[in-house]
Amino acid sequence: MVIVLECSECGGRIKIPDDVLEGEIFSCPDCGMEYEVYINNGKVELKHAEIEGEDWGE
Amino acid sequence: MKVSIIGGSGFTGGELLRILATHPNVEIKMATSRRYVGDYVHRVHPNLRGILDIQFTDPSTSKIAEESDVVFLCTPAGVSAKMTPEFLEAGVKVIDLSPDFRLKNPGEYERWYGWKHPRPDLLEKAVYGLPELHREDIQKADLIACPGCMSTAAILAMAPLAKTGFIKQSIVVVDAMIGSSGAGATPSLASIHAERYGVIRPYKPVGHRHTSEIEQELGLLAGENVKVAFSASSVNIVRGILVVCHCFTEKNVTVRDLWKIYRQFYGNEPFIRLVRDVKGIFRYPDPKLTVGSNFCDVGFEFDPYTNRIVALAAIDNLVKGAVGNAVQSLNIIYELDEKTGLMYPGIHPV
Amino acid sequence: MKVSIIGGSGFTGGELLRILATHPNVEIKMATSRRYVGDYVHRVHPNLRGILDIQFTDPSTSKIAEESDVVFLCTPAGVSAKMTPEFLEAGVKVIDLSPDFRLKNPGEYERWYGWKHPRPDLLEKAVYGLPELHREDIQKADLIACPGCMSTAAILAMAPLAKTGFIKQSIVVVDAMIGSSGAGATPSLASIHAERYGVIRPYKPVGHRHTSEIEQELGLLAGENVKVAFSASSVNIVRGILVVCHCFTEKNVTVRDLWKIYRQFYGNEPFIRLVRDVKGIFRYPDPKLTVGSNFCDVGFEFDPYTNRIVALAAIDNLVKGAVGNAVQSLNIIYELDEKTGLMYPGIHPV
C-alpha cells in the first residue's frame, strides 16, 4: 500500500510505501525537492532534507 | 486516413513526413514539390532513406483532392489562401501550417503582413490549431490554421497567467531565441554556415509577425486586449526555441501559487511538462531537452525585486512549433488518442 | 521480457532507457545507479520526463537477477568482468556494453588495456554483438559483448572488402571522427564546453583500444591477420561518428564493382544504408543524417591515383554504436523482428 503526501515546495504528490523506515529519503517527482521521512506518533511525515549544492553553471 | 503534403521539400514538410511515416493510422498519398518533382524524398530528407520509398510529385489540386481525406499545406505565405478554398469545396480537410488563416481580424494581415487577405470570409471558419486551447473547435473544424513556432511557445508559457488575470492592463515583454531551422531551407547569405555559426543575432527586435497571434490568443484568455513587446534573436543551434516572458504584476505571488496556476491550467495535457526543478542541471525549460519530441516544457519564477513573473517555455520549433500541432489536430479530428504517432522521447544529449 | 539496466545514469544508460521505454515487448524492472539512487530517472535524463516514471535503485546483484530475464551492463571497463559470472550462474542473459568480453584472445587485453582478464574462460562463450556479422551465434548466446562505437563503424565500412579479399597482406588506415557524447558523462577539463567546443582534437592518434576489435573481426572475414592503423579525433558535434578507411589494393576496381560487393554482403540488412549518391548535398555517409536512428550509412569511392578504396561509414555513436546493437541482439535472442523498437527515422536537420 502506498500513502501520498504533498510536496511543500510545489504541491506535487509524493508516493511513500507504508512500510517506510524513519530517515529514508524521498524526492518529489515534479520538482525534485528532497525530504526525509520521520514518524510522528505513528504518522508518516516529511521534513526537508538539505540538498548538497551542485555545480549549476554560471 | 489518406493524407497528402503540399510543399514536402522544406524542413517542415520533411518533419511532417518523418512523423507521418510511423503514424499507424495514416497513409501518405502524395508529397508535392515543384522543384524536386520525380526525386525520391530521401534525396532531400536523407533521414527518411530506408523509411519512406515515395517520390515527390506535382499534380493539380483536383488530383490531390481526389486522393486525399486531409491535406497539409507547408507553403510560403500567400499560397494557401489560394489553394485552401479549392480543397474545402472538394470536401477535403485542410491543416495549414502557413500563416494565411491564423488571424481572425483581416485588418491585422494588412498591419503585420502588408497583405490584403483575398478570402477574409474564411478567417472565421478557420480554427487556431493549438490543441491545449482549442480542442473542441479543432474536433469539428474543416480548416485548421497551425500556430507560428514562436507564438506556440509564448502562448503556452503565458496562457495560465492570462486566464487567471495576471496579464491585465500591462505590457508583456517576450524575448524569443530560435535555431537556424526556423529560417527554413531557402539559402541566403545570412544563413550560410560561415555567417550563421556562433551568432546571437537579434534579427527581428521589433515588428515580428508572430506578435499578432500571441496578442490574439492571450487576449481571448484574458478577456481583454493584451499588448506584447516581442523581440526575436537567432542563436547557435539548429532546432529549438526558448521564450523568456516578463509579466509585471501588482499581486504578490509565491512559487507555490504559480505551480497551482500552471497545474490547474495544464492538468494532464499529454505534451506539456512543467519544469521548475530545485536541483540538478536541468532546472528550467531548455530546447536542448526537447529536440525531436513534441513536448513543450513550461517553467516559471517570481522576481519580488521588480514584481515580475518570468514565464519560460522551450520547444522543438519543427515539432511542437509546427508539425506536432498539425498531427495533434489530425488525431483530434479523427478522434484518435491525441498521442498517436507523437509520443517520442526527445534525443538527449544532442 | 523483464530487463534491468546496470549503470543507468550515463549517456549509454540513458539512451538504452529511451529506446526500451517504447519497445513493445520489454518491461523495465530496474535501472541502477549508485550516485543517483532514489532519484527519478528524468532528473538525469530530462528527455524521459513524461515518458518513464521510475527511480534509480542500487540493489544487490542477486536481487536484480531474481527480477530480470536479461540485464544490460552499461558499466566502466573492469566492472562487468566481476558481475557477469553471477548473472550467468543465476540463468540471466547478459548483454554487456562494456569492453570486458569483446576480445577472444586474453593476451590482447593485456596489450591494449594493460589488464589481466579475471575470467578468460568466458571469452570463448561471449558472442561479439554485431548482428550483421554474428546473427546465428547471437541467437543462441547467453553472453553478448556489444562492440565499441568506433569499431562498429570501421568494421561495417570494411566488412564486404575483407570478405572478398580486398584486405589481403596490407595495412588499412582508419581515421575516426567522433562527437563529445562518445567521451561519456564524467566531467573533465577536456570536456568542459569552453575547452571542448569547436575542436578538431586528435585525442588518440595511436594505440586506441578499438584497434584490437577491428583487427579481430576483419581478420575472421578475411581469413588472415589484418593490421589496422587507427587514429581517433574528436570534432565539434555531440552525437556521431564518421570513419574514413583507406584500403590499398593491387586489383583494379570500378564503382560498379563496389556497389555489387557491398550489395551482396549487406543484402537486405534492415539497418545498413548504402549511400553513394551522384547528386544533391547528401552524397556520402554523414553522422548528421543518422542522429537518433539505428542506421549505419556505408559508402565507398575508388582512387585510381593511389589504387585505394576509400570506405566510409557514419553512425550515431549512442545508438548503432552502443544501445542499437544491444537491442538488436535482444530482439534476435527472443526471435522478435529485429527492427522492433528500433525503426526510428533520424532527426534532420539537427
Chain B residues whose CB is inside 8 A of the A33 CB are: 278-279
Kind and range of the H or E run holding B93: strand B93-96
Residue of B nearest to C13 (CA): B348
Distance CA B1, CA B338 (A): 15
User: Domains in chain B, ordered, with CATH?
Assistant: 2-125 (3.40.50.720), 150-315 (3.30.360.10)
pLDDT block averages, 10 residues each, chain B of length 350: 97 98 97 97 97 95 96 97 97 98 97 96 97 98 98 98 88 96 94 94 95 97 95 96 95 94 96 96 96 98 94 98 98 98 96
Q: Quote the pLDDT of residue B235.
A: 96
Question: pLDDT of C27-61, one tens digit each?
Answer: 999 999 999 999 999 999 999 999 999 999 998 99
Residue of B nearest to A57 (CA): B281
Question: pLDDT of C207-257, one tens digit each?
Answer: 999 999 999 999 999 999 999 999 999 999 999 999 999 999 988 899 999
Q: Quote the pLDDT of residue B169.
A: 72
Q: Grid coordinates representing C343?
A: 525503426
Q: Quote the pLDDT of residue A52.
A: 66
Sequence-separated (6 or more) residues with CB below 8 Å from residue B258: B276, B300, B302, B309
Q: Is the ipTM of this complex over 0.85?
A: yes
Q: Quote the pLDDT of residue C48.
A: 97
Residue B149 annotated to the active site:
yes
CB B40 within 8 A of CB B57: no
Q: Quote the pLDDT of residue A54.
A: 64
Distance CA B142, CA B262 (A): 31
Indicate yes or no: pTM above 0.80. yes
To the nearest whole Å, the CA of B182 is away from the closest chain C CA by 11
Average pLDDT over all residues of chain A? 88
Chain C residues whose CB is inside 8 A of the A32 CB are: 39-40, 43
Interface-testing mutation among B279, B284, B286, B288, with chain A (most A C-beta atoms within 10 A): B279
The band of C167, judged by pLDDT with boundaries at 50, 70 and 90, is: confident
Interface-testing mutation among C47, C52, C178, C342, with chain B (most B C-beta atoms within 10 A): C47
Chain B residues whose CB is inside 8 A of the A11 CB are: 256, 259-260, 263
Chain A residues whose CB is inside 8 A of the B259 CB are: 10-12, 30-31
Q: Quote the pLDDT of residue C189.
A: 92
Question: pLDDT of C83-98, one tens digit each?
Answer: 999 999 999 999 999 9
Chain B residues whose CB is inside 8 A of the C277 CB are: 43
Number of other CB atoms surrounding residue B194 within 10 Å: 7
**Across chain C, which distance is largest between two alpha carbons, in Å?**
61
C50 Rama sector, left if φ>0, alpha if ψ -120 to 50, beta otherwise? left
Distance CA B148, CA C286 (A): 31
Strands across the sheet containing A25-27: A25-27, A34-40, A43-48
User: Alpha carbon of C92 to those of B33, C126, C141, C266: distances in Å?
Assistant: 53, 14, 11, 32
Q: Quote the pLDDT of residue B182.
A: 96
- In the three-class reduction of DSSP (H, G, I as helix; E, B as strand; rest coil), residue B308 is classed as strand
The answer to whether residue C39 neighbours chain A at the CB level (below 8 Å) is yes
pLDDT beyond 90 at A1: no
- In the three-class reduction of DSSP (H, G, I as helix; E, B as strand; rest coil), residue C299 is classed as strand
Q: List residues of C with catalytic annotation.
A: 149
Across B58-62, B295-299, C14-18, C327-331, least confident range: B58-62
User: Alpha carbon of B229 to those of A49, B226, B246: distances in Å?
Assistant: 42, 10, 10
Distance CA C330, CA C95 (A): 8
Number of H helices and number of E strands within chain B? 12, 13
Q: How many CA atoms lie within 13 A of C133 on its CB side?
A: 26
> Hey, which chains touch A, using 3+ CB pairs under 8 Å?
B, C
Q: Grid coordinates representing B247?
A: 509579466
Interface-testing mutation among A27, A34, A46, with chain C (most C C-beta atoms within 10 A): A27
Check A9 against B279: CB less than 8 A apart: no
Q: Does domain A2-48 have CATH number 2.40.160?
A: no
Q: Quote the pLDDT of residue C251.
A: 86
The band of A31, judged by pLDDT with boundaries at 50, 70 and 90, is: very high
Check B346 against C295: CB less than 8 A apart: no
- What residues does A17 pair with on adjacent strands? A2
Q: Quote the pLDDT of residue C3.
A: 98
- In the three-class reduction of DSSP (H, G, I as helix; E, B as strand; rest coil), residue C247 is classed as strand
pLDDT beyond 80 at A57: no
Check C38 against A29: CB less than 8 A apart: no
Check C40 against A25: CB less than 8 A apart: no
Q: How many CA atoms lie within 13 A of B208 on its CB side?
A: 26
Q: Quote the pLDDT of residue B131.
A: 98
Residue A56 is nearest to which of B256, B276, B281, comparing CB atoms? B281
pLDDT beyond 80 at A50: no
Give the start-to-end residue ranges of the domains of chain A.
2-48
Distance CA C232, CA B237 (A): 26
